[in-house]
Amino acid sequence: MKIALSKYGLIQSLLPFSFVSMLLFSCSTSSRDGVEEEQFAKYWYQGKAEINVFDLQQSRYGENRPGKAVMIFVTEDFSKKKQVKLDNPQDNASDAQKVMKLNMTREFVTGVYPYHTMLSVFTPVYDEAYSPKITASMTEWCGQSFTQLNFKSGGYQVKQFSYFESEGDLESKINAMPEDELFNRIRLNPDLVVSGNQLLIPSLIFQRFSHLPLKPENAEISKRDAGSNQAEILVEYAGIGRKLTIRYQQFFPFEIISFEEAWTKENGKTEITTATRTQMKMLDYWNQNEKVFEPLRNELGL
């Protein structure tokens, strides 16, 4: 019988869910308010990732560029010490931390050349703590850039690498909640997103597009009902002219429906990027890497 690990080393792979739930509850209770263990485990611990495909209209160089964005949500065991995915969590139970991982990609074309971006966010499922690690990369024909945030000693250690002289290579320390973590907080429970004025680290992808210095900014967070069992979270930065709107379902598992980014530049012009979900599928994609599975891309609209 194959047994995989949960946050304390005990979750199912082939075990009946009722028995898994008993094991989970006997280990401990969740320390993060709002995460209902039985409901959460039944959906997120079934050995699959949730693949969300969005039609993207990315604003770049003053024009809207059609493309695709993909959000991949999945839970995994993360090393507290090394801040990487554990290869053998059963051998490192004390070091294992269950996280919600978001891998988000964007692909679009500017004129003759393509852009590819990827954001990875690792957010604790049970621990009341900021995401221990966030990374972002951007590749296009001019070159590459990469940013990594590691939470250590009460703040984020930041490393930035870029082909732009003014942006690479840099190291710094900052202490604030990352905006990029909001997507994972919504998936855990939207109540984990606190309204009001907060100090946030703006999106790492936005920072690369805007070339603004990476530092905490004052942001106003609010929520509003959007009808049809949907709601929106709005994040507004007066200081840098950025506004993020995330629309999601108000019931578990709190699926992300769309998002919009608006950036008003110093010259007064506003650039708007939108992403609207078109497909969603639960998939153990890592086991489906043979040619026979390529038609799944058509099903997802990729």
What span, in angstroms and rounded, lies between the C-alpha atoms of 6 and 143?
40
* pLDDT single digits (tens) 136-150: 999 999 999 999 999
Q: Calculate the dihedral angle through the C-alpha atoms of 258, 263, 264, 266, rounding to the nearest 10 degrees.
A: 180
- 8 A C-beta contact, residue 217 and residue 277: no
CA 144 to each of CA 64, 107, 277: distance values in angstroms, whole numbers, following the listed order: 22, 14, 28
Domains of the chain, by residue range, sit at 17-300
- 8 A C-beta contact, residue 89 and residue 143: no
Q: Please tell me the predicted confidence (pLDDT) of residue 15.
A: 41
Provide the residue-wise pLDDT of the chain in tens; the chain has 302 residues: 333 334 333 333 334 433 343 334 333 444 688 899 999 999 999 999 999 999 999 999 999 999 999 999 999 999 999 999 999 988 989 999 999 999 999 999 999 999 999 999 999 999 999 999 999 999 999 999 999 999 999 999 999 999 988 888 999 999 999 999 999 999 999 999 999 999 999 999 999 999 999 999 999 999 999 999 999 999 999 999 999 999 999 999 999 999 999 999 999 999 999 999 999 999 999 999 999 999 999 999 99
* pLDDT single digits (tens) 215-231: 999 999 999 999 999 99
DSSP letters of 147-171?
EEEEEETTEEEEEEEESSTTTSSEE
